């Protein structure tokens, strides 16, 4: 069993590739799919849930109708959820926002299921959740009892398609926090005892820094569960921290790849490449970098340090540090050392043996 998760960018921009990949794997293995809302839709739904200004609901509805038509799918299949969008149920206000936010994933899943001859699984029936609205947690033990819902669909020869980001709590829908579709995918992998959970997006995998901010960032072939969890908790956007934590607890093999051209780049497992990884959220996190910077250490572990760095300094330091470690611009070394106290030789020690830009073939293991 393979679990595929397609993010909002993949669903929106690489829909045909995502459908083809799903069908290709289904020819050889059982597969289940988790999908996100189209990129940007959740933000629009938040505005709608907070203001009840129907212009936001219209914007979401029109975007999905256009998307369905562009992919040769009759938008009439979206009608139940569009009616729900414009006429939400009379439920407590704290539950209503999550109910509205769930509609984006439901619309995506409906279209995707139609394209792959699959069937939508209601996530509130599959994932038993707890916690507070907007930031739910999945009760894996209870959710395992619901695995038969998926198995029954697979036995009919159809592909189960699960809207991500959503669980069920006390009869209501509860969302799982930003990036919650990653969490849904790992949870699905656990309850189905999957051999692999593949997180497909618009980038090849996990990089030494955010490639959108650091163009010279290097692809990391192998990241350990612990490295992924620490990085996810401190600003790495490739995976939600709840997903990383569950993968670590359950030892779920994860593969990160790019939907377009099916390029696979990073595996999360017990194995590590011991490559540097830098993130910034509420402080500068350095993984597998031994050098101390000239800032206060907030927290640290056996292979990482979290520094208290001013918000306007974080990304500049990451860019400069990255250039020092990987030798991209040697002329920056002296300037970088002056700014952040970096010892070039100490930082590079232990990294000379690495092979960068390793990527995986289109074949799944």
- Compute the distance between CA of residue 145 and CA of residue 128 in angstroms, rounded to an integer: 10
Query: How confident is the model over 8-63, as pLDDT tens digits?
Result: 999 999 999 999 999 999 999 999 999 999 999 999 999 999 999 999 999 999 99
Nearest to 240 by CA among 165, 297, 189: 165
Phi–psi pair at 114, nearest 5 degrees: -65, -35
Mean pLDDT in residue range 237-263? 95
Structure-model confidence comparison of residues 98 and 295, the more confident one: 98
Confidence (pLDDT) at 108:
99
Confidence (pLDDT) at 322:
87
Whether the pLDDT of residue 361 is over 90: the answer is no
Kindly give the pairing relationship between strand 263-269 and strand 254-258.
antiparallel
Mean pLDDT in residue range 108-136? 98
Confidence (pLDDT) at 313:
85
Confidence (pLDDT) at 3:
98
Q: What is the mean pLDDT of the chain?
A: 89
Whether the pLDDT of residue 343 is over 80: the answer is no
Residue 190 — very low, low, confident or very high, per pLDDT cuts 50/70/90?
Answer: very high
Whether the pLDDT of residue 334 is over 70: the answer is no
Q: Let me know if 291 is exposed, middle or buried by CB neighbors in 10 A (0-12, 13-18, 19+).
A: buried
Confidence (pLDDT) at 55:
98
Confidence (pLDDT) at 326:
82
Given a contact cutoff of 8 angstroms between Cβ atoms, the answer to whether 232 and 304 are in contact is no
Mean pLDDT in residue range 57-77? 98
Phi–psi pair at 196, nearest 5 degrees: -160, 140
Strand 304-307: give its sheet, edge to edge.
277-280, 284-287, 304-307, 297-300
Residue 197 — very low, low, confident or very high, per pLDDT cuts 50/70/90?
Answer: very high
Residue with tokens 């990383």: 244
Query: How confident is the model over 277-295, as pLDDT tens digits?
Result: 999 887 888 889 877 788 9
Residue with tokens 């597998």: 288
CATH numbers and ranges of domains, the chain: 2-202 (3.40.1160.10), 277-348 (no CATH)
What residues are paired with 280 via a beta bridge? 284
- Compute the distance between CA of residue 95 and CA of residue 276 in angstroms, rounded to an integer: 41
Given a contact cutoff of 8 angstroms between Cβ atoms, the answer to whether 22 and 217 are in contact is no
Confidence (pLDDT) at 238:
93
What residues are paired with 161 via a beta bridge? 33, 120
Whether the pLDDT of residue 358 is over 70: the answer is no
| Angle formed at CA 191 by CA 185 and CA 196, multiple of 5 degrees | 55
Mean pLDDT in residue range 296-307? 92
Given a contact cutoff of 8 angstroms between Cβ atoms, the answer to whether 225 and 248 are in contact is yes
Structure-model confidence comparison of residues 133 and 314, the more confident one: 133
What is the CB neighbour count within 10 angstroms for residue 162? 29
Residue 272 — very low, low, confident or very high, per pLDDT cuts 50/70/90?
Answer: very high
């Amino acid at each position: 069993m393979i679990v595929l998760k397609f993010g909002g960018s993949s669903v929106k921009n690489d829909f045909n590739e995502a459908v083809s990949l799903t069908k290709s794997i289904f020819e050889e293995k059982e597969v289940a799919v988790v999908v996100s809302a189209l990129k940007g839709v959740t933000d629009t739904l938040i505005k709608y849930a907070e203001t009840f200004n129907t212009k936001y609901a219209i914007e979401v509805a029109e975007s999905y109708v256009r998307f369905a038509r562009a992919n040769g799918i009759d938008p009439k299949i979206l009608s139940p959820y569009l009616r729900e969008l414009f006429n939400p149920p009379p439920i407590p206000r704290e539950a209503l926002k999550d109910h509205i936010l769930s509609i984006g994933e439901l619309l995506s899943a409906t279209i995707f299921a139609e394209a792959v001859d699959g069937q939508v699984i209601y996530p509130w029936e599959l994932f038993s959740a707890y916690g507070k609205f907007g930031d739910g947690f999945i009760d894996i033990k209870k959710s395992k009892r619901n695995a038969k819902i998926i198995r029954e669909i697979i036995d009919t020869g159809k592909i189960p398609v699960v809207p991500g980001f959503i669980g069920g709590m006390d009869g209501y829908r509860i969302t799982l926090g930003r990036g919650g579709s990653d969490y849904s995918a790992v949870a699905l992998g656990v309850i189905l005892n999957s051999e692999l959970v593949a997180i497909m997006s618009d980038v090849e995998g996990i990089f030494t820094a955010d490639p959108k901010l650091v163009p010279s960032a290097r692809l990391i072939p192998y990241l350990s569960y612990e490295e992924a969890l620490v990085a996810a908790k401190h600003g790495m956007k490739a995976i939600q921290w709840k997903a990383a934590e569950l993968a670590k607890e359950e030892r779920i093999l994860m593969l990160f790849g790019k939907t377009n051209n099916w390029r696979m780049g990073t595996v999360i497992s017990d194995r590590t490449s011991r490559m540097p990884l830098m993130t910034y959220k509420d402080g500068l996190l350095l993984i597998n970098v031994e050098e101390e910077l000239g800032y206060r250490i907030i927290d640290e572990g056996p292979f990482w340090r979290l520094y208290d760095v001013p918000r306007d300094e974080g990304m500049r330091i990451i860019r400069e540090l990255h250039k020092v470690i990987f030798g991209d611009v040697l002329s920056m070394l002296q300037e970088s050392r002056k700014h952040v106290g970096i010892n070039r030789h100490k930082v590079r020690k232990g990294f000379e043996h690495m092979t960068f830009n390793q990527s995986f073939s289109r074949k799944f293991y």
